[in-house]
Structure 1
Amino acid sequence: ITAPNVAAVEATALMTAVTFAPTATDLVDGSRAVSCDKLSGSTFPVGETTVTCTSTDSRNNTSTKTFTVTVNFKFNGFFQPVDMDGVWNKAKAGSAIPVKFNLGDVKGATATEIFAATPKAVVVNCSTTVTQSIEETVTANTSGLQWDGTQYIYVWKTDSTMTGKCARFEVLLKDGSIARTALFTFTK
């Protein structure tokens, strides 16, 4: 069996159709039929799914092969008022910060359908460009996520004890991609 090399697919919904075409060849029988536990064109959830395929020759010798289908969100970055890419955002300690983002064609999903874990803030060293963790602070629960018809808004309720500290805000999506982050310095 030759497993297809399926490139990562961008999610068009929480369940996205993916096509693939595994093949099988037998030395004696030539081309053989392949059956998989997920059919080509069926829908896959966001994240990684293992597909198992089998083929049997005319003498009942069976071969099995697996491959992975990956469906990722199209994350377009955080929108204003939050900047990414190493920019230090300034915020008042104890304030509510609207963290806005889009996931391409995935619209109106719930927090449990999007987040792999509750968004969090990690306190980091303010005096260096390396954002080394000093201590971890878990942010408000995922009930702070809303869909406004065009974007997701997560309201991050910061702690008033953050005055004079810096933090890396992290969002980990269910697709298994890297954590999406933004840096903050807090004033009184």
Structure 2
Amino acid sequence: MPTERPARPARPGRPYHHGDLRRAVLDAALDAIAAEGPSAVSLRDLARRAGVSHAAPAHHFKDRSGLLTAIATEGHSLLAAVLGEAEDLRDLGVRYVRFAAAHPAHFQVMFRPELLRPDDPGLLAAREQTRSMLRTAVEGHDDDPAIGFMAAWSMAHGFATLLLSHNLDGLLDGRNPEAAFRALAGVMFEPAPRPPSA
């Protein structure tokens, strides 16, 4: 199963020559989150990893919540690109799970509002794009669209969260996670049989 980059060793004191400090700090933050979770992120440590002054990351992100907001915004944009290719509701859920497995660091931050700037315009727009895709896919699958939206999102997000935390390892027992989710979604969203007409 693909994962995000393994953490790279820090290179203190080495001058930074890349030219895209913002991207370098984001990548270093994603490495730290993948290895230790969002609580491990600090601008000072990321500056050390990137080999720049401790004030340099603040120039782009101002503070830790700004950095995590940028990660969440990027995550929603990546997720929207993946969901946009879905063929139907079941495939959309599979793609949601696939995204979480491929981008675990983004996924850990995207749905943690206490870590983010709640009024950031870029985040609000990116998040609404992914939610709109899910709402559109659910239309016609439930008499109550809000309930259908919550059910579909809860199933995909819950499965992805359990998968990333290895709580499904024993239950999957070697099964492909995407195939397992596809089967689960088929059971949960199978149309109810109509009663025979009188």
Task: Give the alignment's TM-score, normalised by structure 2.
Answer: 0.28
Bigger Cα Rg: 1
More helix by share: 2
Task: Give the alignment's TM-score, normalised by structure 1.
Answer: 0.29
